Amino acid sequence: MNNIPVIALMCIAAAGVGWFVGTQTAGTSDSGEITEDGDLAALRAENERLKEELRARGPGLEAAGTGTASPDADGSDKPFESGGAKEGSARKMPEPFSIEGVDDPHLAVKMFQQYASEMWAHGKDGHLGLVKALDDLLQDKDALEKMFASEEEAVKHLYPMIKFLINNEHNVAATTETLFETMANEPEKFSDFDDDTLEIFTEGAGMFMPAIMDEKRMEKMRGYAKKILETPEAQQPEAVRRNRSEIGRLMRFWQPPLTADEALAKLQAGQVSTEELRGLLSKLKPEHMSQLDLPALLGDLVAQGDYRAMAALGMAPLDARTLDALDQRFLEGAKSGSVHQWNVQYYLRSTKRTKWVDARNLVETGMDMGGKTATTFAGALMQLPEKPDKDWVAWALSRYELPENTVQTLKRAFGIQ
């Protein structure tokens, strides 16, 4: 995440810390439900004061999304549940949000909280409108940097935002759900968005959805994420494309609860995505690994230098035939440039070849392939769990054609004149 304005960091931190400490900091009823604490009640009660303050600052500012948020029809002022306004609701969509003319950070945060409360009353349209308002804020970097002059200044306003998100966790979850649904089905709606805005949900809020949503909703979320990842990148705007890796990581956090036996059965059935594969492997015990066709299951990932796949190999008893098949895929990866010298020592450790006598055959095979593959394995010699002796290195330097800088580096490392 590069050059994210301070308000984005606030939102990400608030999303993460807020849900993590929610049960300690939010008021709860005897049934465990989150109840409104004094902060939210004060937000509504303070609305008239905010309006008066805005009027004093100049005309036009009151329209910046700070009108009174009406309570639900039953008179309560609980957070709006997923789905937003009720059928036939007469709520009027707020005007576009703006902090133009506002230089008080405390007031700006309160204004955004009030605006969010109003937008959540409008269901999916309100969710997307709120995300658009956040995107507009993040893209107005000059205004943000002027208002939040430093990280220290921004932190002062973090805790109220955390409490606000805690008390509105279901609204934040509904907004996240709408965001993923739209990225999956109508990605073009984010054509003018900054990818940092979406990261607030793909790196921040999204991680905590399993703690908030039931399994039925999480199944829908996994479906949206899978569709996003299966959609050709050429059909997605830049903001969505640049969040694909974050969404892929979320799939691991979103895996449904499975026993080791259930995970094994799913892997044996096949047809799981790469991200699902990683999550399922993490649930297995060593005795389950011996029941899998590891070259078929992990070969592609080994050839890509995927460290999680290599770590999974460390859980498995590897016979000579399986090890040879995996070595061939690893060598293919080295030849294609997907495997680098630092992958060599990790692969050898994962396949329990920490002694030079056990590692030598793979190293010599790689160097015999010549070109970049030989250079990759030669560069890895200094990183091996147990290094070869000086005489072998001298022999290798005389046998293999290597770049001059690699030769000189190895001579210095092994004391060869």
pLDDT digits (tens, 9 = 90+) for 201-230: 998 888 888 888 989 999 999 999 999 999
Specify the pTM. Answer: 0.53
User: What's the first-to-final CA gap in the chain, in angstroms?
Assistant: 46
Taking the C-alpha atoms of residue 153 and residue 165, their distance in angstroms, rounded to an integer, is 20
Task: Write out pLDDT tens, residues 365-385.
Answer: 999 999 999 999 999 999 898
Cα–Cα–Cα angle for 265, 269, 272, rounded to 5 degrees: 100
Task: Write out pLDDT tens, residues 134-179.
Answer: 888 888 777 777 777 666 666 777 778 778 888 888 999 999 999 9
Among candidates 357, 318, 326, which has minimal Cα distance to 343? 326
- Which residues share a beta bridge with 34? 28
Taking the C-alpha atoms of residue 365 and residue 248, their distance in angstroms, rounded to an integer, is 34
State how far the alpha carbon of 232 is from the alpha carbons of 220, 250, 304, in Å.
20, 19, 21
The DSSP secondary structure of 39-84, one letter per residue, reads HHHHHHHTHHHHHHHHHHH-TTGGGTT-SPPPPPTTS--PPPPTT-
Mean pLDDT of the chain: 77
DSSP designation for 212: H
Task: Write out pLDDT tens, residues 225-249.
Answer: 999 999 999 999 999 999 998 998 8
- Helix (H) / strand (E) element for 331: namely helix 320-336
DSSP designation for 283: T
